[in-house]
Structure 1
């Protein structure tokens, strides 16, 4: 079995972050491990409070894993301080890993900053250069472009704009980029720009539901899982897109806000079928 590590924040409500990463790993058939970088008090209605884990604790978690277990791929999510970003960078560089997927949690889908400019700059200059793939949403892609060029731009609201921004990011950091277009006004579409500048459009099925909490975490974790299992980048992204669509189809109507996607949904369906089959024997 392949071993995949998530380095991210904890979501006490179970809908995103470390919790949904581990569910996704299990569903994709890999062994999941975690380094927790922040504790969040959140639920389906929003984030109420964030408390960073100490820099030393982040490093000790990484050392404990690498001292004992082979790491085949890493998914990196919420790194909410400059010190934690730099510690993660130094330790991954020291220990090494073949596949790194960075979900750059910098800007919310509503456009609000989640980390300060120094942390954003460090995330880009250090971890993007190390990554095989980064998976920004539209707001994050806009933020990355503005920081690396110093030019303000309008919101990205077209597939052509996604491709243009994605190419510039690839040129600057040398990693492949999956720009997520789930919030486009038109039909949703994600755009993969590979290191060789080839572009692949992945049209999405619009699923009418408010329960999309954790979608980005699920996608990046699934991609890391399939990369660890030997899939090419293009294959890993394509299969993970199907996985996320099914997770949204099986989303859970939990809480009073935006409920979570369900990475375990297909497994639950298989178990139900088995129980029905056994009852009919």
Structure 2
């Protein structure tokens, strides 16, 4: 969407988009040969239009699978978006953890990602090793897992020495939005060290905006654990096979999922400040 539509709802000061990607320019940042898809370029200047349209002050760039463990594009994009004060990074680390943890911390890294849906990073059976490698750094592990794999992994995730952040509503089941997938998320959140991103609901949904078939999952999580949720656009919406979502619609959907203005402020400002280490507003 070259000209993103503003949301109907107004965001609070310091609002954070906790899940974006940046792609390119490919001449400077070539994609990995083993990638699972080839996205069009989505540069920082295009994302700035999204920030301006939605009134967002902060962002978290998540290393996309198409770059494998080469985080150069992500690091440069974070620098252009204001560095650690305004933009944090969830990187993909090689086996054994980052080679330069101090440099990564200075760049704004606060977590590492394992993507078992699109690939391009450590395999799912390396979650424990990945968590152990960054536990002393105080970083979290972010997981994008297929629904069945997430449900199966819950006992293991509850034993990790790090916080765990679950991508994209845990891949909710639109046919059974309060079924086993939600039970798994609630169990993780009950453990006190997990977070869920209210992002990517449109990926699982069989419907168009505001994606009402995944709303029960989001509302159930907000009713029980409003202090463990963050929100993100998933811009620029890679691997999208249906209509491209409007980022304004995603923000408006969040407002429908939450009970009141206080919860809206918590998910957009307070929770990401705590999870990602931004200054409190």
Instruction: Please say which structure displays the higher CA radius of gyration.
Output: 1
Quick check: which one's strand share is greater? 1
Report the TM-score range of the alignment, normalised by the length of the smaller protein: 0.3 to 0.5
Q: TM-score, normalised by structure 2?
A: 0.40
Q: TM-score, normalised by structure 1?
A: 0.40
Q: Which has the higher contact order (CA 8 A, sep 6+)?
A: 2
